[in-house]
């Protein structure tokens, strides 16, 4: 099997060479067992290509390359040098952003104009941010102790970091992890999701072209049970960062603990609430909550999939919400993801399609819930699921308690602040939350009382690269983005200096 394959994207008149090997030591190589994974276009259900899948032996090679690069080269670079390289990487991303977005569209099902290009803009912003932050967030502190002694702290990189990223934001989630980790001075072995590996494999070429030394970044696609498990348990990996389901996050944490007690950052599932109070600007609340559940076809850990509306404005909100969804969140004229009117794409795979449809059928047939559905593209052969709204959903409903991870909104009533905050906190998750009100006191009470790592006031799902992101409870451990996105990859070393005479 060749290490590159020709792929055409006729909608943009693009033809390019797609890397399909493992990227180790700045070279694409075959997997040791020659196992391959077929990746499918979610909009058509048709195969795109096959790529090499890393075995445990391949993971060992990648970790060894990262260790050698760290000890011999990367640990000796200055923060300024790392910032310069990240700046060059940002320039290359800018040059290739249309192609990278197109690869994301074909491989993961993101609408090109209304989703994939936006992801690339965030990746550019994030890369520039960490290019500038590399020499600013690594500083320690001087700690005067007495006239005869002082101490200082040094922020030191972990060394070799493993990263495992999900399929819903293949390149964006990789960038959330990689750029801050590199700025902090670590080397990386990163595993993309097995059904959305193409964009990160292409991105690996830009890392090499920017001038990063061999072994600093290694991209090892493969199956989670093989490649991901080996990374979590590897004795020469100093830290692992994982984004994905809570169930798999628990396995990663257990493997890390039982191997070398490596440090762990986890960003896991969510069932994020949005509270809409009677004094809210309902048009704004409708716009933001609809985007918060239907953007990226609902495949967001932070999706505000539980929408609670104060009973006095509940019916009015429903009318406005339904009309807005019908007008704004749609497949376009056809199921072509390069249609500029397309705002909703397919879910990522047949497995995910069946999972989400299972929840919808459960709500309809088992729980007998009322729902509205917005229509399906007539020519669809892919994994499209119509935007769906379940109304008057009881709190103990499976749809209210479990993460659906699809374009399914669950809407219910609440009476007052006390009941609303209790309903919002009634979950094992705590990733994100939103509140809509014109009362500044009520908004601040909500921010104080909600058990979630992110609170949006009068908006939803509008992350900023300079602001920390992470969860409470079973939604994860640690923070990404902002200064936290570098601090997560740094350890504090304390140095004691005695200047007294004996």
- Residues identified as active-site: 267
Distance from C-alpha of 222 to C-alpha of 52, rounded to nearest angstrom = 7
Is 105:112 a contact under the CB 8 Å cutoff?
A: yes
Per the listing, tokens 């990367």 go with 74
Distance from C-alpha of 129 to C-alpha of 136, rounded to nearest angstrom = 11
Distance from C-alpha of 166 to C-alpha of 301, rounded to nearest angstrom = 10
Distance from C-alpha of 411 to C-alpha of 309, rounded to nearest angstrom = 7
Q: What is the dihedral of CA 250, 252, 257, 263, to 10 degrees?
A: -110
Distance from C-alpha of 106 to C-alpha of 195, rounded to nearest angstrom = 11
Tokens for 34? Answer: 């020659």
Distance from C-alpha of 12 to C-alpha of 336, rounded to nearest angstrom = 12
How does DSSP classify residue 159?
A: S
**3-class DSSP assignment, residue 239:** strand
Tokens for 358? Answer: 């299972």
Is 18:198 a contact under the CB 8 Å cutoff?
A: yes
How does DSSP classify residue 167?
A: S
């Amino acid at each position: 099997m060749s290490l590159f394959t020709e792929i055409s994207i006729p909608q943009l008149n693009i033809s390019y060479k797609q890397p399909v090997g493992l990227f180790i030591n700045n070279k694409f190589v075959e997997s040791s067992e020659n196992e391959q994974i077929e990746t499918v276009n979610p909009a058509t259900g048709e195969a795109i290509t096959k790529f090499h899948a890393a075995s445990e032996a391949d993971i060992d090679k990648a970790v060894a390359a990262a260790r050698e690069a760290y000890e011999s080269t990367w640990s000796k670079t200055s923060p300024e040098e790392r910032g310069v390289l990240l700046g060059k990487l940002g320039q290359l991303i800018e040059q290739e952003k249309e192609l990278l977005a197109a690869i994301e569209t074909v491989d993961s099902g993101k609408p090109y104009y209304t989703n994939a290009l936006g992801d690339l803009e965030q990746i550019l912003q994030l890369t520039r941010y960490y290019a500038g932050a590399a020499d600013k967030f690594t500083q320690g502190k001087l700690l005067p102790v007495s006239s005869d002694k002082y101490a200082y702290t040094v922020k030191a990189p972990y060394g070799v970091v493993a990263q495992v990223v999900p399929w819903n934001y293949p390149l964006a989630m990789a960038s959330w992890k990689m750029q801050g980790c590199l700025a902090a001075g670590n080397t990386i072995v990163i595993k993309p999701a097995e059904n959305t590996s193409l964009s990160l494999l292409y991105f690996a070429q830009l890392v090499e072209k920017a001038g990063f030394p061999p072994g600093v970044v290694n991209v090892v696609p493969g199956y989670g049970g093989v490649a991901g498990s080996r990374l979590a348990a590897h004795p020469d990996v100093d830290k692992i960062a994982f984004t994905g389901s809570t169930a798999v996050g628990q396995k990663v944490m257990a493997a890390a603990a039982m191997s070398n007690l490596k440090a762990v950052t986890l960003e896991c599932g969510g069932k994020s609430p949005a509270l809409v109070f009677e004094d809210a600007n309902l048009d704004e609340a409708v716009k933001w909550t609809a985007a918060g559940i239907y953007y990226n076809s609902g495949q967001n850990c932070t999706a505000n999939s539980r929408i609670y509306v104060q009973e006095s404005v509940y019916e009015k909100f429903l009318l406005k919400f339904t009309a807005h969804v019908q007008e704004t969140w749609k497949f376009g004229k056809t199921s072509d993801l390069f249609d500029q009117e397309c705002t909703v794409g397919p879910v990522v795979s047949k497995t995910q399609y069946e999972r989400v449809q299972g929840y919808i059928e459960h709500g309809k047939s088992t729980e007998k819930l009322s729902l509205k559905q917005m229509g399906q593209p007539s020519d669809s052969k892919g994994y499209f699921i119509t935007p769906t709204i379940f109304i008057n959903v009881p709190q103990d409903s499976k749809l209210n308690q479990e993460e659906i991870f699809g374009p399914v909104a669950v809407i219910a009533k609440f009476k007052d602040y006390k009941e609303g905050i209790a309903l919002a906190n009634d979950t094992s998750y705590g990733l994100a939350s939103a509140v809509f009100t014109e009362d500044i006191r009520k908004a601040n009470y909500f921010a104080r009382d909600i058990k979630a790592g992110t609170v949006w006031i009068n908006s939803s799902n509008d992350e900023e690269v300079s602001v920390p992101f992470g969860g409470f409870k079973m939604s994860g451990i640690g923070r990404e983005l902002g200064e936290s996105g570098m601090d997560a990859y740094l350890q504090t070393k304390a140095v004691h200096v005695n200047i007294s005479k004996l």
